[in-house]
Amino acid sequence: MTGYVSVRGTIAAVLIFVTSGAGFAAETFPFDRELILDAAPMRPGKRMPILAVESNGNARIDLWCRTVPAHVEISDAAIKIEAGPLPEDMPAMQSAGQCAPERVQADEEFLATLTQTTGWRRAGDDIILEGTKLLKFRASDH
């Protein structure tokens, strides 16, 4: 009977440990870092979409051509991105081809996809945003 009690006690301790989350590092969102979209560059410009989220939820979304402010709510594996409107004016300082018509359209499409994101997770060093499409970001090394 002693062995039975010992096994039951061990199982109970393991269950408490697992269900309490002890021993598991919660995945934390990389606040205050620039996350660069892992995608092929859209030529001729060099600019890539970047998502930068502050710990208070304020965010900046640099698109292929333009930049919009946003607010991001993150909890566990859920994420909600509310972006401001796309500015009508093109950036005053831009590189050649940065705001070609294809890039302006890509801004609209990417922003729509980003605001439909509902979940996030880490995959190694990458951040995956989940929604109508999977979007993979990597932390900037700048």
Residue 102, domain CATH: 2.40.128.270
Bridge partners (DSSP) of residue 61 are 51, 68
pTM: 0.78
**Residue 14 falls inside a structural domain:** no
pLDDT digits (tens, 9 = 90+) for 34-60: 999 999 988 877 889 999 999 999 999
- pLDDT value for 52: 98
3-state DSSP call for residue 58?
Answer: strand
Cis peptide before 44 (omega within 30 of 0): yes
Residue 44's nearest CA partner among 108, 111, 94 is 94
**Residue 3 falls inside a structural domain:** no
pLDDT digits (tens, 9 = 90+) for 106-117: 999 999 999 999
Mean pLDDT of 72-100: 86
**Residue 12 falls inside a structural domain:** no
Please give the structure tokens belonging to residue 51.
């998502």
Calpha distance 12→17 (Å, rounded): 9
**Residue 9 falls inside a structural domain:** no
pLDDT at 135 over 90: yes
pLDDT digits (tens, 9 = 90+) for 2-39: 554 444 444 443 333 333 334 334 579 999 999 999 99
Residues 6 or more apart whose CB falls under 8 angstroms from that of 142 comprise 34
- pLDDT value for 45: 76
